[in-house]
Amino acid sequence: MSVLTAFRDSERARSIIERIHRRNTGDISIMEFCGGHTVAIFRSGIRSVMPESVRMLSGPGCPVCVTSNADLDRAVALAKTPGVTITTYGDMLKVPGSRESLMQVRAQGYPVEIVYSTLDALKLAEEQPDREIVFFAIGFETTAPAAAAAVLQARKRGLKNFSICSVMKLTIPGARALLAMGEVKVDGVIGPGHVSSIIGSDAWRFLPEEHGIPVAISGFEPLDLLAATDAIMEMHEQRRPALVNTYSRVVRPEGNRKAWGAVEEVFTLDEAGWRGFGIIPESGLVLREEFADFDADRRFDITVEDSEEHPACRCGEVLRGVITPHECKVFGTACTPESPLGPCMVSSEGSCAAYYHYQRQLA
């Protein structure tokens, strides 16, 4: 049996599901803070096999979705700056900003390029020395090491036409902000797998220790997610909140110090504006003074008009777990993946897109 098959083994899954059904937890709300988990939970049908007493909530775990309109508008303004080519991940293009998306800007003839990695952006900078290549860096702790590596490489190669517009964010301050708002009841948290592989499982100890909330770090296979859910339910049942790492084949308590070391070398913390949350202190990664030459915000003097949200879009509430996508009036009608009004319907890790693709019949 291959490792992957082992994590999809239906016999093992059935026995965990049966145990979950036998558990005596009463009503319990479990939140995942990771867009990858949101999609994996839907795709594997885990929601549909849970007892009615278990409520699965999606939190602010999609980096595309939490990017604010103000930051999107900044990317649009950069794209319209003479001599600048803006590069970013594909999901970002369709997200509507206050007035237009990067896709619409590209259709007007401005250079917007999709890249699959920061190294693609670097390559473009080497191939086009007469243009300024700006990488619009979205993401959480998972993507930050690659952005840091790109900056370090650019410096090493002496590239003068590469810079980063960083809107990268940290999940822990985001999770803390959500809990501080107190709008949703969270009885347990499925901890993000990729993020934790970088920052370490220990980073989540604050949940049981400060909030009495059990947390289980999970991988992305059905058995990973079931095991994490079961572990949370067991801790809840026994009233012993703790940190459990069900993804120890990838995640270490201390994380990947080398990768995070590169992030700390290049970036420092600053406040960041999150969609649905507003400004969260020390939740954003910005380039350190020593790397100012690679900071698009310092290199280009752009003017951005006041940002605004689409009046019908409730992505902010979806991201805070306050409503489910079905509760947004335009879900599946005025807002679809082909014609999205908000990022949660665009991103491959967005909650609205996941509901749309996997659970439309419940709308």
Binding site for ligand SF4 (CB under 6 A): 34-36, 61, 140, 142, 192-195, 312-315, 318, 325, 328, 330-331, 335, 340-342, 344-345, 349, 352
CB of 309 to ligand SF4, least distance (A): 9
CB of 266 to ligand SF4, least distance (A): 19
CB of 215 to ligand SF4, least distance (A): 14
In the complex with ligand SF4, which residue's Cβ is closer, 119 or 312? 312
DSSP per-residue codes, 65-82: HHB-HHHHHHHHHHHTST
In the complex with ligand SF4, which residue's Cβ is closer, 94 or 314? 314
Residue among 246, 248, 180 nearest 213 (CA):
180
- Residue 91 C-alpha from the chain's centroid: 12
Take residue 1 and report the two structure tokens written for it: 């049996």
In the complex with ligand SF4, which residue's Cβ is closer, 34 or 122? 34
Q: How far is Cα 242 from Cα 251, in angstroms, rounded to an integer?
A: 16
Non-local (6+) Cβ contacts of 300 within 8 A are: 78, 81, 84, 132, 134
- Residue with smallest beta-carbon separation from ligand SF4: 36
Contact 273, 60 (CB under 8 A): no
CB of 147 to ligand SF4, least distance (A): 13
Take residue 46 and report the two structure tokens written for it: 């885990």
Non-local (6+) Cβ contacts of 238 within 8 A are: none
Take residue 254 and report the two structure tokens written for it: 């201390």
In the complex with ligand SF4, which residue's Cβ is closer, 133 or 353? 353
CB of 128 to ligand SF4, least distance (A): 29
CB of 161 to ligand SF4, least distance (A): 28
CB of 21 to ligand SF4, least distance (A): 27
Can you give the three-state secondary structure of 174-200, one letter per residue? HHHHHHHHCCCCCCEEEECHHHHHHHC
Residue among 203, 207, 215, 218 nearest 180 (CA):
207
In the complex with ligand SF4, which residue's Cβ is closer, 280 or 302? 280
Q: Identify each DSSP E strand in 193-260 by its residue range.
A: 215-217, 243-245
Take residue 238 and report the two structure tokens written for it: 């026994």
In the complex with ligand SF4, which residue's Cβ is closer, 57 or 159? 57
In the complex with ligand SF4, which residue's Cβ is closer, 192 or 222? 192
